[in-house]
Structure 1
Amino acid sequence: MKDAHQSRNGDLLAFSVFLAVAAHRNFRAASVELNVTRSAVSHAVKSLEQRLGIRLFNRTTRSVSLTEAGERLAAKLRPALSSITEALQEVDALRETPSGTVRINASDAALRLILRPLLGGFLRDHPLIHLDIVTDGRLGDIVAEGFDAGIRLAEAVPQDMIAVPLLDAVRFAAVASPGYLAARGRPAVPQDLYQHDCIRFRFESGSIYRWEFERHGVAETINVAGRLTLTDMFLMVDAAIDGIGIAFVPDFLATEALADGRVERVLEDWCPSFPGVCLYYPGRRHVSPGLRALIEAIRGRRK
């Protein structure tokens, strides 16, 4: 009986490893998610394949893909292991002290604005919670990638998720340094941006963000030009401070630079507001005590 019990525990671990590799299509990424070595992941998958007597992955030096058997096994295991995880989380909810790992996927801006100010106090107040935060510019599938929750603009939250508002409407700002504006002039309407150096933003998908303006119900979308393209909006503000050009960013990223005069607003009456920032998680998933504690900490800081 003892050997059978150990075998079942081993299978659960192996199945978890298998699903992590299946989600990422990458052994290294799975090892990072599971916080184990790559060799441990490889060994677990190899042992599972040997026990089942069938190959689950096609491996080359450049790619990892599921075989037909692997696809079928993954499809059956995902809901089963999800149910087991939910059952364990419900039991864990009976603890007086929240514990466990909470995995969050967030944009870099959300991390710096919302999470960074409370991390020290939160971890001090909850010594049994481990936060695993991944900053990611793309809007991934938090369920498939093993996250408990994500943080994004409200308009980007998938409809089948439960959204918890963290910030009210976010307004964008076009900003530039006083020196740049003295040399190049101030744009009066969005179309004037075609005559300026603009600091462009590239999404992780590779596409370039087109600047969106609106005034009195009239919308303008400008495909700006410029010699500098970045994937980090904080660096865009820094570039604007350095006089490289005009940046278009959520205004909370430029609060300090606006306050001390290192940058100034332009086209202010054209800059729109967007729905605020939300934390979101699957509606069918039980909310762990650790995630609930984090939500309460974020809400408490807003008061």
Structure 2
Amino acid sequence: MFQALESGVVMGSIYALLALAINIIYSTTGIINFAHGEIVMLGAMFGLTFIVNSGIPFLPGLIMACIVIAIVAIILYYGTVRPFGDNLAHSLGWLMATLGAGIVFKNIAMLVWGTQPKSFPPIGGSELVNIFGIKILPHDIWVVAITLLIAIFFNVALGKTILGSAIKATSFSHNVTKLMGISSQKIVLTCFAMSGMIAAIGGILISPITFVGPEMTATIGLKGFGAAIIGGVGDSRGAFAGGLLLGILEALAMTKVTPGYKDAIAFLIMIIAISLKPEGIFGVAYEKKV
């Protein structure tokens, strides 16, 4: 039971990272980036190139991958979101555009890196550490620790900094931010870049668990969307809580059923959670004055 709980916390941390990256974009544009899973996959691919293939130390390789994916996310914004202007709520063009971009990214990955999954060494080696009778990989500890640090950083950044206030203002109204002298486009670009960086980190952290390949985020990306909805889309605390809850419930359910039903169980959990509390764990509600 405790071993399953540990596994659930690790996977839940990954889902939380993906959900947080989704929420950052939603908070300023009101849209869901349907190419997000492929952005995570590209982060893993570039991490593989820099860290494994080129032999660059982990931290510099991670930073390089984050920078590259931040640039990719900005290009994605200009190619799929910006052409539809600020009034995205009244257009679904961005939905098809981001879906199409995801397909393009996946095919580019297949052409550049091939279709075969590749191994990625875990952080801290593969020797198990025994903590209170639970055998844990050092990589699992790193996953949880990095997720916690990112979640705390964004909670502080969004709640107690000028950038956080600007993001909140932009999420309320782009026109109002312009009147206040705030460039809504720069804020949106910043959020896309931050989302890309978090996606890259998530992709690299999950690589030793799932291997690296163009199809690596086929279901994990959807679970990230589910975690964001469970926690409350647009709420960073909810993203963290939703990811952990989904991961833990999924792992505990796997102690009762065979591994072949893992994804079905996870999606069933998402459907039940969304049906019971569609507004999210913290009851997030958005109210706008007209």
Q: After TM superposition, is the score higher than 0.5?
A: no
TM-score w.r.t. structure 2 length? 0.27
TM-score, scaled to structure 1:
0.26
Pick 1 or 2: higher relative contact order, CA cutoff 8 A, min separation 6.
2
